[in-house]
Amino acid sequence: RKEVEQDPGPFNVPEGATVAFNCTYSNSASQSFFWYRQDCRKEPKLLMSVYSSGNEDGRFTAQLNRASQYISLLIRDSKLSDSATYLCVVKGDGGFKTIFGAGTRLFVKA
């Protein structure tokens, strides 16, 4: 089983749609969780951290379920500029080892 698993997609959605991505992780001792975004031929950039109580940043909502070892990202009112690969990221119990999921590709179409 991979340490961090994501559905690779691609997800093809129209502008204005709501889309959700899921991610599971295998190490129950994992401490920190993030969503990063990577545009084509660019470096990954932090989209948002994921907190136990769930958190929201504008159109983006992240949720963490420690019991099920599951992380989600919800994007509301999708924009063309949201087209990218979304990477689920888990930080190990040692604090330094960071594991990236393979990413979920999103295409938002006009």
Positions touching another protein (CB under 8 A) are 31-32, 34, 42-46, 49, 85, 87, 91, 95-100, 102-103
Nearest distance, CB of residue 43 and another protein, angstroms: 4
Nearer to another protein, 22 or 32 (CB): 32
First to last CA, the chain: 37
Nearer to another protein, 32 or 72 (CB): 32
Nearer to another protein, 10 or 16 (CB): 10
**Tokens representing 38?**
């990577």
Please state whether the peptide bond connecting residue 10 to the residue before it is cis, i.e. omega within 30 degrees of 0. Answer: yes
Nearest distance, CB of residue 102 and another protein, angstroms: 5
With a CB cutoff of 8 Å and minimum separation 6, the contacts of 75 are 18, 19, 20, 21, 59, 60, 82, 106
By the 8 A CB rule, do 44 and 74 touch?
no
Nearer to another protein, 58 or 96 (CB): 96
Nearest distance, CB of residue 3 and another protein, angstroms: 11
Nearest distance, CB of residue 22 and another protein, angstroms: 18
CB atoms under 10 Å from CB of 15, counted, come to 12
